A and B are shown apart, each in its own frame.
Chain A
Amino acid sequence: MSAPFIIAVPAKGRLQENAARFFSRAGLELIKPRGARDYRGTIAGLPGIEVAFLSATEITELLGQGMVHFGVTGEDLVREMIPDADSKVILIDGLGFGHANVAVAVPQAWIDVYSMADVDDVATAFRLKHNRKLRVATKYINLTRDFFSAHGITDYRIVASSGATEGAPAAGTAELIVDITTTGATLAANALKVVDDGVILRSQANLVAARSALWGESERAAARLVLDRLAAEARGRAFREVRARFAGANKALLGQARERFGIVLPFGDATSSGMVTLHCPPAQVHALATFLREHGAEAVTVADLGYVFARDNHLYAKLEAGLAS
């Protein structure tokens, strides 16, 4: 009997929508065969893979315990919830959504505080004056402790907060906070400001692999299949296909283009008739098109790429390297 390969995916909210879209773009349709409220699903066309729909917190816990192979969760939760995270999980790739900074924020009224060194000094002065410690409200207890410790801050107390952390200073339950912030608008509305060097972590949703899950041949094959599609999609997104035919398309010129625009040549140098296919980062497309025409190309076509399947797969390579270390 073989256990299935399990991918844990957020069950609710924006994270779920983004994750579903992310997999779908890579040709991995997440399906819930028994209806939308089902917690178990599959991927269309890949019978060996099971999808578990869970909360981000549960996903992180299961990754730490090796109960699932892959999971989609925020790096903030990974670093907070899994002690010595890098020994337990491998962060395969940032997924480009779920961005949030975990940061230290103090009241705007603290015009004397703009750096962590100030926070340190204020903490000590506060203890000497009030005979108690500065209180930091947060749900990121471990991240906060490690960050404060790295800044040599000792005169503080953590107040565990389970929601609406940004309201704690106004409510008088803490002097400052550590919380996630995306735009800073919530902080500003609560008369708080982020300390200049107080960003603890720039987090986003990650595809995470559990080191201690069972990694036999069939699990590795399933992981390879999934990562192959994800890598092909990621690579497709990272480039535009640029085509042209002109006599001047020689090695020297293409070398110059690589240097200036970061192109790659998926099918090698130009053909004898000067036909050439380039992959170019989207931001460089216009500059490249001008460059090619200046060197004799009559026409340059640019097209979006759906997938680029390459022989090497950097995502799978990262998993293999991580599991071996």
Chain B
Amino acid sequence: MTSRPAKPREAARDARAEALVASFERAGYTRLTPAILQPAEPFLDLSGEDIRKRMFLTTDPHGRELCLRPDLTIPVSRDYLASPAAGRAQGFCYLGQVFRHRQDESSEFLQAGIESFGRPDIAAADAEMLALGLDTTAHYGLAAPDISIGDVGLFAALIAALDLAPAWKRRLIKDFNHKTSLAQDLERLTLSAAHARPEYQGVLAALAGSDPKGAHALVTDLLSIAGISAVGGRSVGEIADRFLEQAALGAQTSLPRETRALIERFLAVAGDPDEAAAELRAVAKDGSLKLDAALDLFESRTGFLAARSVDVRRIKFSTAFGRGLDYYTGFVFELHDPAGRAAGQLVAGGRYDGLLTRLGSKKPIPAVGFAAWIERLIACGGAA
């Protein structure tokens, strides 16, 4: 068997990317080389069904769905959980191909990146990721990329602090990553007429004012009298709970205009991190909201960035900035070419504290990381 000799361009590309990963290793990150062929399940489960049409899927003889890895975050996380280091603070780096159907670019491309697990010093770890991301673009000759950052945790803190029905809280949090839905939600919350089924309206209204325990028992009993047992994974108790929650929701008057205005004012906050923090403190004060923990973390992170000699005034923060992926829970960032030579972000990442639990970890493990698009970096930085 002979293998095709690498073309000079590819050799140069690979050498430069190898040098980048070597710098990650020197910074204390252990290199991992996860399998290219991965079980499809975790990607579909964590990234959502929308990723299915961009994935290269296949089936093994036992009917298990496999895919060519569409990213490396999940494979690295899985390898970490399967290793003896699982649960301990440990950082990893990687370089390798990922595979996604793309319209205007090759569907096979190179990514390098870092995943940092188990570090309790959240703000410092966040800042280190952005700093290493900036080192990455600098490695390709782009010292001053556009820096966009956001913090999903701030929005979560805002929603938690608001006096809203649980159903609306879950919905607003979920829709943060889908901006048209969020706008619709706010619209609907403000109008909020009755949205329960008309024939149930009377029953729901009667239940709304009653003792919750008794109402729950009643609905559960009615379901069992009707001979309806649980089908699928939802228990009768869950159904009864939500049925009653809808009753409460129907009875609740609409979202006060001031609250909506507050959410919208919050989402409009943008600027450099210091300005933004000052403005967010003002919003919190005006709305008498307790956002101190989230804002303290935000400011502490900015401090660590400055300490790593990142020019904080160049950072564009926006409360509305999310990365469209549901698994981010805190800090998120993207680095772009100011000249617009690449088809998308050059480096992007963020904090995903919930991911490892969803991959099967018994205890929560904080996690933060980023990925770099090698071909795009080359396109911006000139020669490979």
Contact = CB atoms under 8 A, between A and B. Distances in A.
Interface in B197-255: 197, 219, 223, 228-234, 236, 238-239, 242-243, 245-246
B45 interface: yes
Given A111-B223, A154-B178, A126 B234 contact: yes
Nearest to A168: B232
Contact of B232 (A133, A148, A155, A174): A174
Contact of B197 (A114, A170, A175): A114
A176 B53 contact: no
B178 A109 contact: no
Interface string A37-62: 00000000000000000000000000
The range of chain B's interface size is 35 or more
A121 B50 contact: no
A125 B228 contact: no
Q: Which 7 A-B pairs have the closest CB atoms?
A: A175-B232, A152-B181, A112-B243, A109-B228, A169-B232, A107-B231, A112-B242
A122 B239 CA distance: 9
22 contacts: A107-B234, A109-B230, A111-B219, A111-B223, A111-B239, A112-B245, A117-B195, A122-B234, A122-B242, A126-B234, A126-B238, A130-B233, A132-B45, A145-B49, A148-B49, A154-B48, A154-B174, A154-B178, A155-B174, A157-B44, A157-B45, A172-B232
Contacts of A257: none
A197 to B, nearest CB: 12
Contacts of A109: 223, 228-231, 234, 236, 239
Contacts of B13: none
Interface of A: 107-112, 114, 117, 120-122, 124-126, 128-135, 141-142, 144-145, 148-149, 152, 154-158, 169-170, 172, 174-176, 191
Interface string B40-58: 0000110011101100000
A146 to B, nearest CB: 9
A154 B326 contact: yes
Contacts of A141: 52
Contact of B231 (A120, A152, A170): A170
A241 to B, nearest CB: 48
B246 A112 contact: yes
A128 B242 CA distance: 13
B223 to A, nearest CB: 6
User: Per DSSP, are chain A's interface residues mostly helix, strand or loop, or mixed?
Assistant: mixed
A175 B228 CA distance: 15
B102 to A, nearest CB: 15
B243 A149 contact: no
A124 B174 contact: yes
Given A109-B229, A154-B48, 4 more contacts: A112-B246, A128-B170, A134-B233, A158-B49
B95 to A, nearest CB: 30
A247 to B, nearest CB: 57
B181 A129 contact: no
B222 to A, nearest CB: 9
Nearest to B50: A149
B290 to A, nearest CB: 22
A155 B174 CA distance: 9
A271 to B, nearest CB: 59
B161 to A, nearest CB: 19
A145 B357 contact: no
Nearest to B244: A112
Contacts of B239: 109-112
Nearest to A173: B232
Interface in B1-20: none
Nearest to A115: B195
Contacts of A108: 228
B53 A121 contact: no
A176 B44 CA distance: 17
B171 interface: yes
Contacts of B48: 154
A142 B53 contact: yes
B216 to A, nearest CB: 13
A17 to B, nearest CB: 35
